[in-house]
Amino acid sequence: MTEITCITPIDGSVYATRPVASRADVAARLETARTAQRDWAARPLAERIALVEEGVARLDRVNADLVQELAWQMGRPTRTGGEMGGVRERSGYMAGIARRVLAPEVIEDDAKFRRLLAREPVGLVLVIAPWNYPFLTATNTIVPALIAGNAVVLKHASQTPLAGERLAQAFAHLPDGVFTNLFLDHATTAKLIAARSFGFVNFTGSVAGGQSIERAAAGTFTALGLELGGKDPGYVRADANLDAAVDTLMDGAFFNSGQCCCGIERIYVAEPLFDAFVEKSVAWVSKLILGNPLEQATTLGPMASRRFADTVRAQTAEAVAAGATALVDKGLFPADTGSTAYLAPQILTGVDHSMRVMTEESFGPVVGIMPVRDDEQAIALMNDSRYGLTASVWTEDPDVGQSIGARLETGTVFMNRADYLDPALTWTGVKDTGRGAALSHLGYLSVTRPKSYHLKRL
């Protein structure tokens, strides 16, 4: 029997194993889901909203357990308090706009005609969720999909199998089949997509993973939402609030050990502020405490696996060999022995775009900082990437911030903030970061299809 195994980054031991679902079990559960979906969609929207909100509340009630489990599964320090604040914010917003967004648009209703545009659920929605924010990212699609009348099938990452089970428990009060958690291997997932088993597939993960999803869906016309890699930049202009920029950009680069979809991975600083920005940033990072995520003093936990940590180590070593300077004293972080998932944070200067650390996704606790002459150079460097999820611009002038943002190849432009999802604004990317839109009213468009009614009275 094939199993999914979670190796905890805390000590490298096996934390959880789960058997991969058999082909017969998958077929039976998908059939149950299809049947359940039809009845679920027929329920009044108000009932669906209330039941989904109850599921979120049930998840919230066990947050203390979730926080501990996340530390064991992917290394996030328990002191952060988990993800439920964001889950409540996003699910509450999506529930709050559902009546307006899903209401039919009446074009005409008189003695001769009734014409309207409606939206109906796509049927079964497959959510392939990542390990770095296993509840937040899944919520982005699960909540609107269920509210819109779909049945949801969840395949969670092998690093966070308990997250899938926790979500299934939270929504266990829904009719059987409306929410299904499955442990699937990659091959089975691809076959299900190729068999046109789903009306919509949402995937958050690597570019290679997204390419595999697209290949599996080729010719099926299955709608896809793909949030893939990122190399999000920050730009600190000469008129920026320096201390605020340091605090936010360093937090954006190192929170969750740098394992954030929209984390800051490269920073460009106006030459007059460069030295001061770097000095303050090194001081900020040097105060982090790398250690066991279960300990309250720990502010920086291990990366989710040694493999991920070794990737960042390799990028950093290559950059230093090519002339970059590592500024953070590794001796301040004795937990990093070089052979585990515990990785000391690092700031690099003397970097350029010939180095992988400035062009390829690191997804770890390292950031390169470059000086720039002006806006033109900063914009060119920020756009010199095959990714485009978010960009952070630091200035005291909103007009300048927006005008720079208009020239950036990215899904979201931040001014004087970073690493945040506003549920009222759509979450999307460009280039190799993927396609599709989550959150905001546009998030409902992915999990529904339009339907026109042209009714003539005789």
In Å, what is the CA distance from 191 to each residue of 198, 281, 364? 11, 48, 32
Burial class (CB in 10 A: 0-12, 13-18, 19+), 109: exposed
If DSSP codes are grouped into helix, strand and coil, which group holds residue 31?
helix
Give me the tens of pLDDT residue by residue for the chain, a chain 458 residues long: 699 999 999 999 999 999 999 999 999 999 999 999 999 999 999 999 999 999 999 999 999 999 999 999 999 999 999 999 999 999 999 999 999 999 999 999 999 999 999 999 999 999 999 999 999 999 999 999 999 999 999 999 999 999 999 999 999 999 999 999 999 999 999 999 999 999 999 999 999 999 999 999 999 999 999 999 999 999 999 999 999 999 999 999 999 999 999 999 999 999 999 999 999 999 999 999 999 999 999 999 999 999 999 999 999 999 999 999 999 999 999 999 999 999 999 999 999 999 999 999 999 999 999 999 999 999 999 999 999 999 999 999 999 999 999 999 999 999 999 999 999 999 999 999 999 999 999 999 999 999 999 999 99
Fold (topology level) of 232-384+390-421: Aldehyde Dehydrogenase; Chain A, domain 2 (3.40.309)
End-to-end, the C-alpha distance of the chain in Å comes to 64
Catalytic residue among 69, 83, 260, 261: 261
Q: Are residues 258 and 231 in contact, defined by beta-carbon separation less than 8 angstroms?
A: no
Domain with CATH 3.40.605.10 in the chain: 3-229+433-456
Tell me which residue has tokens 């944070």.
345
Domain with CATH 3.40.309.10 in the chain: 232-384+390-421
Rounded to 10 deg, the angle between the 136-147 and 161-170 helix axes is: 30
In Å, what is the CA distance from 107 to each residue of 97, 117, 268, 339? 21, 7, 50, 65
pLDDT computed for residue 132 by the predictor: 97
Q: Is 227 a catalytic residue?
A: yes
What is the pTM for the complete model shown? 0.97
211 Cβ contact partners less than 8 Å away, ≥ 6 residues apart: none
Catalytic residue among 6, 69, 83, 227: 227
Q: Which CATH class is domain 3-229+433-456?
A: alpha beta
Burial class (CB in 10 A: 0-12, 13-18, 19+), 373: exposed
If DSSP codes are grouped into helix, strand and coil, which group holds residue 162?
helix
Q: Is 54 a catalytic residue?
A: no
